[in-house]
Amino acid sequence: MINRFLNIFLIIVLLAVASGCIEDGFTDDSSARPEFSVDTLNLGLTFTGELTPVHSFRVYNRHDRNLLISRIALRDGSDAYRLNVDGVAGKEFTDVAIRPHDSIYVFVDAQFPPVGRDGKLTVKSLLDFEVNGGRSTVVLSAECIDVTVVQASVLSADALWSGAYHVMGDVTVASGVTLNLAEGSTLYFHDKASLNVEGAVVADGTPEKPVVMCGDRNGTMVGRIPYDIVPGQWGGVTFAGPGSRLSHTVVRNTSSGIAVTGGELSMLNCVVRNSRESVISVTDAEVKAVGCEFADAPEGVVTLDGRARLTMNHCTVANSYLFAPVTGALLELKDDGVSCHITNSIIYGNGPMMNTKSPASDDVTLRRCLVGADGSDDDTFIDMIWNSDPMFITDTDRYIFDYRVGPGSPALGAADASLTLPEAVRDFYGRERGSTPDLGAYEH
């Protein structure tokens, strides 16, 4: 027992001696400066009037003595930002100490006033750190945009949306009602929010100003993966009525993609990508897609069921999905009654090319398409380019999912111009296909 108490006493003495050896003085070297984990803290896209997510950076003392930061404050005194320095909230901080070779965290969020104009406005502020008469600065930067907030609702009269919208819950377009989306409109959907179309949606995007439907997250998540490629950020779009038309429209990062469950949908030069289920599913409905990209899904990129009818011309169906095992085919034809006719297109990527109950059906034809699978021409597959790599300019290691084709691609100039529909004369970017068009959605 005596030995045990002696050991405890010795430990206490050693700890006291060690703590006494810590340098309590502060460096007064005028060249001593803190270092930062970032030069510019980018808050990304922010909706005016709404509080941003919390961002952070670290402040390092690389020196052998304590560093005393005499003052931390925004140079312009902006009230838009909320700061927390080393666990203390405030607007201005004085005498903040950092031990040798240690660091502290600075947390930042903001709520910006309206910018009063269309489009984005970059707002920058300077956060100053004063030490020994000198000043170091971290730039705080945000892209601010005015948005119209839309709560869960039913649209019971025709409407025109133009500009930016933050959709917080499910929005239903009632039967007999048309929602028009002007060129350049962007719909930012909150988690689990969806667009349910019992009437019609007419989206009039252009090559210069496409209509965009996406999630409302920005920046990066765990592992520095950009939210711009993360699926499942919002529900998706369901079309159940007649008369919907999408032109130059981007739909990305959904849970269930576009689901067409009734009526018909026309799509021209659209990009639908990155869904947790299928990118587009058609059940007992009709879809015509010209110049469209359908990409990245685990359960079948394009899925047809019931009496679905699909026509595709100059489309790209691709799959480089990263977030789950790919269990479906690029084309999932789940019922003998489906009708599917695809021309001048590319079908390539992870998963089988096609899963169908009726590959020899007169209502299923692929004509002059490039595919990654082995095969031979017959009554279903006509004038095909088999077992070929279209040489997409994707780079999944850098999270680049670009399904245009690169130099030397077998898709270049390989389309049958006689099969190019009149509305396919230009691609998503406005490039003319000409007399020797490329296969797929895009002209090189």
For residue 116, what are the contacts with CB-CB under 8 A and spacing of at least 6? 146
pLDDT classification of 378: cutoffs 50, 70, 90: very high
Which residue pairs from 221-226 have beta carbons closer than 8 angstroms and sit at least 24 positions apart in sequence? 225/399, 226/399
The Cβ-side half-sphere exposure at 359, using a 13 Å CA radius, reads: 12
Q: If you average pLDDT over residues 229-236, what whole number do you get?
A: 94
User: Tens digit of pLDDT for each residue in 321-365?
Assistant: 988 999 999 999 998 899 999 999 999 999 999 986 545 457 999
Over residues 75-122, the pLDDT tens digits come to: 998 999 999 999 999 999 999 999 999 999 999 999 999 998 888 999
**Contact by Cβ (8 Å): 436, 417:** yes
- What is the pLDDT, as a whole number, of residue 11? 45
Please tell me the predicted confidence (pLDDT) of residue 167: 98
Span 199-220, pLDDT tens digits: 999 999 999 999 999 999 887 7
User: What is the model's pLDDT at position 222?
Assistant: 64
The predicted pLDDT at position 224 comes to 72
pLDDT at position 16 over 70? no
Quick one: pLDDT at residue 15? Answer: 44
Q: Report the distance separating Cα 106 and Cα 150, nearest Å.
A: 33
- pTM score of the predicted model: 0.88
**Would you state the pLDDT for residue 24?**
57
Contact 358, 389 (CB under 8 A): no
* Choice among 172-181, 222-231, 255-264, 403-412 with the minimum mean pLDDT: 222-231
Residue 164 confidence (pLDDT) = 96
Rounded-to-integer distance, Cα 428 and Cα 118, Å: 23
For every residue of 200-248, DSSP letters joined together read EEEEE--SSS-EEEEES--SB-GGG-BGGG-S-SB-EEEE-SS-EEEES
Supply the pLDDT for residue 18. Answer: 43
In terms of Cα–Cα distance, which of 90, 160, 425 is closest to 290? 425
Enter the tokens of residue 63: 């020196």
Contact residues for 148 (Cβ-Cβ < 8 A; gap 6+): 161, 163, 164, 165, 166
- Can you say whether residue 154 is alpha, beta or left, with left for phi > 0 and alpha for psi between -120 and 50 degrees? beta
Which value, to the nearest 10 degrees, does the dihedral of the CA atoms of residues 209, 422, 387, 390 take?
A: -30
**Which range has the worst mean pLDDT, 25-34, 43-52, 252-261, 401-410?**
25-34
Mean pLDDT over the full length of the chain: 92
**pLDDT level of residue 12 (50, 70, 90 thresholds):** very low
Task: Please compute the mean of the pLDDT values over residues 257-275 and round it to a whole number.
Answer: 97
How much is the pLDDT for 361? 56
> How much is the pLDDT for 5?
43
- pLDDT above 60 (res 402): yes
273-307: pLDDT as tens digits: 999 999 999 999 999 999 999 999 999 999 999 99
- Per-residue pLDDT band for 223 (boundaries 50, 70, 90) equals low
What's the whole-number mean pLDDT along residues 229-241? 95
